[in-house]
Copies of this chain bind each other. A is one copy, B any other.
Amino acid sequence: MATNQLQANGERFWDTIEASAKIGPGVAGGLRRPALSDSDKEVRDLFRRWCEEAGCTVSVDQMGSMFARREGREDLPPVLVGSHLDTQIAGGRYDGIIGVLAGLEIVRTLNDLGITTRRPIEVVNWTNEEGARFQPPMVAAGVFAGVYSLEWGLNRPTRDPGPGEGKTLGEELRRIGYAGGVPPGGRDVDSYFELHIEQGPELERTGTSVGIVTGGYAVRAMLVRVKGETSHTGPTPMEKRKNALVGAARMITAADDLGWDYAGSDGKVTAARLTVSPNLAGILSDHAELSLDLRHSDPAVADEMLAELEKRLAEAARRAQVDYEIVERWTFGDERFDPDCVARLREAAEALGVSHRDMLSQAGHDAYHMAARHPVAMLFSPCGGGITHNEAENTVLEDQLPAVNVLLNAVVARAER
């Protein structure tokens, strides 16, 4: 290992991970800390205190995203490094969290060493990356990068069940005291670095320490609204039925079949969320709403899958005698990351003697939106068994520390540029 490389304090880093894991515990060892919940407020307060104790100035933008700034020698556009502290409803201790707290560890390590970089460094915690309470996910990074308007972002309604349903992201930001005053984005940023657990099994399977992420899988997502007709479940003959639930089920089956058709080249099609109304025993349902997405490493193949999916949805609707409409569409993941930023990660890994391989990310990340406007690179660390978005997410410090050190040296190299 080259001796001129900076080394993070692994034990201190892991202590912050453990402290985070105490806030918003789930029922099975993981976390239930959805965006703008009381526990999200609590972890934000802790993160703010840590950053201020490390000498940073913390600002909060109007979408609630937090920026902990460590000044540089010159007043240049900063290097951003971070991820998100929110989790899924039954999420893990590491997804997103490791990226934010690695950013904090970079600041602390530089403090220990008395290093001031040329450019400022800002550690970022993005609001609502997961989308567990507010759709879409990655909404605050999207607003920062100008992909969504601020007004639209603040008006995203919760999907909380019960009487709280429909409260907006803006209302929930005010409730927990994180409706900041800084307009999101609209300023020069040197670059954005994000460390994240892989959310897949490849690093572990191949015994590789880090993944240098060069871009994302192309994602095509849609929201489908199915329109049927209510009638009695008993006497209505099959040929008169327009059951929206059957329509949606046939669409899901067709989508899953398509996923299997492309499984050989690691394509996927997912049905993640279905709501049906009135969804009662004794009556056929007249409405359903279905979230579908597909992913492939090659954007051209993703587009081919999308065309085929649309054909099969039409056929499924015909078979179920229902009408439908694709009411929303999202496309992301086609971006390739910035060659210089990616090279900094690769060089740091080489210099540290950390094994690495180039990869594409299969999940969505805040980095995708940032890449639309700024130089971006991502780094993957191993993820035990490839399990994620699950309380059983697991890893150990020795699997994460190499990635933290690669990130540290790449960020410092870029900040010295």
Contacts and interface: CB of A to CB of B under 8 A. Distances in A.
Given A199-B234, A234-B364, A272 B245 contact: yes
Nearest to A271: B245
A137 B282 contact: yes
A263 B276 contact: no
Nearest to A251: B249
A132 interface: yes
Interface of A: 88-90, 130-132, 135-137, 159, 161-163, 198-200, 217, 219, 229-240, 243, 245-246, 248-250, 252-253, 256, 259-260, 263, 266, 268, 270-276, 278-285, 291, 293, 295, 320, 361-364, 386-390
27 contacts: A88-B278, A88-B282, A130-B282, A132-B280, A135-B281, A161-B161, A199-B234, A199-B235, A230-B390, A231-B388, A232-B363, A232-B389, A234-B364, A236-B268, A236-B386, A238-B260, A238-B268, A245-B272, A248-B249, A250-B252, A253-B253, A256-B320, A270-B284, A272-B285, A273-B280, A274-B276, A283-B389
A243 B273 CA distance: 11
Nearest to A245: B271
A132 B280 CA distance: 7
B293 A274 contact: no
Contacts of A136: 281
A272 B235 contact: no
Nearest to A288: B274
Contacts of A232: 199, 363, 388-390
B389 A231 contact: yes
B363 A234 contact: yes
Given A260-B238, A274-B274, A363-B235, A280 B89 contact: yes
Given A162-B161, A236-B268, A390-B230, A273 B281 contact: yes
Nearest to A234: B363
A358 B272 CA distance: 48
Contacts of A159: 280
Contacts of A235: 198-200, 362-363, 386, 388
Nearest to A278: B89
Given A231-B389, A243-B270, A282-B131, A256 B260 contact: no
A132 B253 contact: no
Contacts of A284: 270, 272, 389
Nearest to A362: B235
Most chain B CB inside 10 Å of its own CB: which residue of A159, A229, A233, A268: A233
A280 B234 contact: no
Nearest to A387: B231
A137 B295 contact: no
Nearest to A246: B256
Contacts of A320: 256
A386 B320 CA distance: 20
A193 to B, nearest CB: 20
A297 to B, nearest CB: 11
A313 B163 CA distance: 36
Most buried by B among A199, A229, A249, A268: A249
A281 B278 CA distance: 21
Most chain B CB within a 10 A radius of its CB, from A130, A137, A256, A390: A256
